[in-house]
Amino acid sequence: MTFDLHTVLPLLIPKAIAWAQVQSSLIEKVGQPLNDSLLAIARSVGVMHPELIRVAEVSRLPLPEDPELQQAALESGLLGPNMVGMTFGYGIYVCHGHNTIRLLSHEFRHSFQYEQAGSIAAFLPTYLQQIVTVGYNNAPFEIDARAHERHHA
């Protein structure tokens, strides 16, 4: 079943925020704090409070249990087999084998974007609207994160 993401987005945003907040809390409990080198990289991409970041390595990124939210995430390209990192505020998931400076600096920039927005609830509506409107690769927040990728510590 395919649906129009533009139409359903306003209905899905509260579910997406709730799911993201749960993921952030889970990562806060199990994720690892950044070492000195990674703290410096997070600061270099603008993060004001890198000491709050936690990184959890997982075998694959979690999918929302809600069927509509899951479908929207897969159809929009936000989640799927090629995704290896995802940020929820200060919580970051990284798939095993992809824990690179490039990916972490990209995800750290998303933490900066959350900081600028003020919260998960303030960031996600804009981010998701960007993805639905112009696509994942052309979303301004993604372009910004790619522009801040580092390739070495």
Q: pLDDT band for position 146 (50/70/90)?
A: very high
Query: What is the C-alpha to C-alpha distance for residues 88 and 104, in angstroms, rounded to an integer?
Result: 13
| Site of tokens 């580092």 | 150
Q: Which residues of 70-92 are buried (b: 16+ CB within 10 A; e: fewer)?
A: ebbbeebebbeeebbbbbbbbbb
pLDDT of 78 over the 90 cut: no
Q: What is the pLDDT, as a whole number, of residue 153?
A: 67
pLDDT of 93 over the 90 cut: yes
Instruction: Name the 3-class secondary structure at 63.
Output: coil
Q: What is the pLDDT, as a whole number, of residue 76?
A: 83
Could you tell me the two tokens for 129?
């609207």
Q: pLDDT band for position 3 (50/70/90)?
A: low
Q: Where are the domains of the chain?
A: 5-147
Give DSSP secondary structure letters for 100-115.
-HHHHHHHHHHHHHHH
pLDDT digits (tens, 9 = 90+) for 17-65: 999 999 999 999 999 999 999 999 999 999 999 999 999 999 999 999 9
pTM above 0.85, yes or no: yes
Query: What is the C-alpha to C-alpha distance for residues 44 and 137, in angstroms, rounded to an integer?
Result: 23
Taken in order 142, 106, 95, 151, the sign of the CA dihedral is positive
